[in-house]
Structure 1
Amino acid sequence: MTSLQVAGKHICGGFLISDQWVLSAAHCLGDAGNETLQVLVGAHSLSEAEPNKRLVGVQALFPHPNSSAENNHDDLLLIQLEEKVSTNADVQVLAFQRQDRDVPAGTLCEVAGWGFISNTGRLPDKLHRVELAIIDRATCNTRIHYDGSITEKLMCTESKKKDSCKGDSGGPLVCKGVAEGVVATGSRVCGNWKKPGIYTRIMPYVVWIDSVLAAAHQPTDRPEAAPVP
């Protein structure tokens, strides 16, 4: 897990997919505004001293070219760190799904982050995790939930009393040790069972992820990055 930070404050989650790259959500750039974005790695507590905690600068930002502040589609962001980070017990790379299959309904998956832990808007200092069950896309698309707006590039989890929330965006949805999705959005009131948590599936974007990482290491063929605040 990583914490995306502006002026020392947590705004979004993210996770290492290599020793120099973080995957997060594109809409987090809107939360950053024009402020300098940094990435905290190796942290459990945001405030306490910890042996492997480091704040790392950002070299380049690559929001998905089709992402938009107007909707939840293609809501992914690749962050190239200024330097490679050393992996250890507290700093590890998380594998992501490369096979095109939906996670079966009822599968228990984990979400972690430093997002709100109550609807009073209280942010925790320590990393929290929650176990959530997958809802199949057809159910999530029923009228009581999202009425047909959940595409094949999105997936849903139950949100009855337990849920991801504001500040968890960009963090991974991990099923059986593999990142299947990235926290995108959900109900304005977290824990509302009628509005399940929505996640961007990673697998449909594997080609884009691989191409950005490969091209970034070939200066003559470097993809166009967003300005780094």
Structure 2
Amino acid sequence: MDVLFPAHGCVVFPAHGCGVPEVQPNINRVVNGEEARPHSWPWQVSLQVKHGSRFHHTCGGTLIGPRWVLTAGHCIWPGDVYRVVLGEHDMSVHEGSEQIRDVLRIIVHPDWDIDFVARGSDMALLKLDKSPVLHWSVGPVCLPGAGEVLSHGAPCFLSGWGNLYTHGPMPERLQQALLPVVEHSVCSRSDWWGGTVKTTMICAGGDAVSGCNGDSGGPLSCQGADGRWSVHGVTSFVSSLVCNEARKPTVFTRTSAFIDWISDIMLHY
């Protein structure tokens, strides 16, 4: 498995089928978080790291192409061995929908710095050893348009197997939460995240609803006017105090700020 930190283009994405789940997600209820309808986020993957002879969930990820998964740079540590599980819902049982793929190559964004998280570019691409079988429980999400910025309050959804609350348990079943977008002019106020939040990031949620440990690298999925879902964010960080601190929304790497880089990597690797 190669781990690449390359220098700094367009790729052809699936013309149809991206961002259209066969199992429709439950997006009617506005609650702090709930179990997702099984396989309604078919692009959600579990990134697992090998400890001893076993693999354990460490981060989320997003299927964006037949052999490509998008995740966070901070989920990747050189020397570790990873695999990706697609079609997962309940980690405690074998459901028959799961597909396991080895990671052939990892490309971490060249500007990512584990010692300087607020610098941004918290993003990595994983190339799978072979394409998963695309069907009702596994399918790619769409990518947003380059530079696309969502409006304040736009309804997006975080999904993952992260802690249910600060220092709380990790759920066995995939969870989802409605996280409205907080525009940069608000999120960057001094009593919010201030200068920590860059324009290449997107804030969503805050107060009662947020991401938490274990959600890292997973998607912020937002539905477009055409009904298709796009991954507008890669879960990056939350408050170091508590996951759901007021005026400290979950911060994501803004996918639309990195479309050229993503396209270039997918085209040349």
* C-alpha deviation, 1:158, in angstroms: 2.3
In the TM superposition, 1:39-188 aligns within 5 A as: 39-72=84-117, 73-176=120-223, 177-188=229-240
**What TM-score, normalized to structure 2?**
0.77
| Structure 2 unaligned blocks of 5 or more | 1-43, 224-228
**What TM-score, normalized to structure 1?**
0.90
Tell me whether 75-84 or 138-147 shows the greater mean CA deviation: 138-147
* C-alpha deviation, 1:192, in angstroms: 0.8
Tell me whether 109-118 or 156-165 shows the greater mean CA deviation: 156-165
* C-alpha deviation, 1:174, in angstroms: 1.0
- Specify whether residues 121 and 71 from structure 1 end up closer, same or farther in structure 2 by C-alpha distance, changes over 3 A only: farther
Tell me whether 108-117 or 94-103 shows the greater mean CA deviation: 94-103
The one-character-per-residue Cα deviations of 1:19-66 (angstroms, maximum 9, x if unpaired) are 111000010013xx6331111111001121112202211100000011
Matches of 2:181 and 2:128, distance apart in 1: 32
Q: What amino acid is the match of 1:4?
A: L
Matches of 1:96 and 1:10, distance apart in 2: 25
Matches of 2:146 and 2:257, distance apart in 1: 9
> Is structure 2 residue 55 aligned with structure 1 residue 3?
no
- The residue aligned with 1:207 is 260
SS at match of 2:259: helix
Q: What amino acid is the match of 1:122?
A: P
Moved over 3 A (4+): none
Matches of 1:84 and 1:175, distance apart in 2: 25
- The residue aligned with 2:41 is none
Q: What amino acid is the match of 2:109?
A: H
> Is structure 2 residue 249 aligned with structure 1 residue 196?
yes
* C-alpha deviation, 1:120, in angstroms: 2.7
Q: What amino acid is the match of 1:19?
A: P
Matches of 2:101 and 2:230, distance apart in 1: 24
- Contact 1:158-1:193 within 8 A present in 2 as well: no
| Structure 1 unaligned blocks of 5 or more | 217-229
Matches of 2:93 and 2:64, distance apart in 1: 25
- Contact 1:58-1:79 within 8 A present in 2 as well: yes
SS at match of 2:257: helix
State the identity as a percent. Answer: 28
- Contact 2:149-2:256 within 8 A present in 1 as well: no
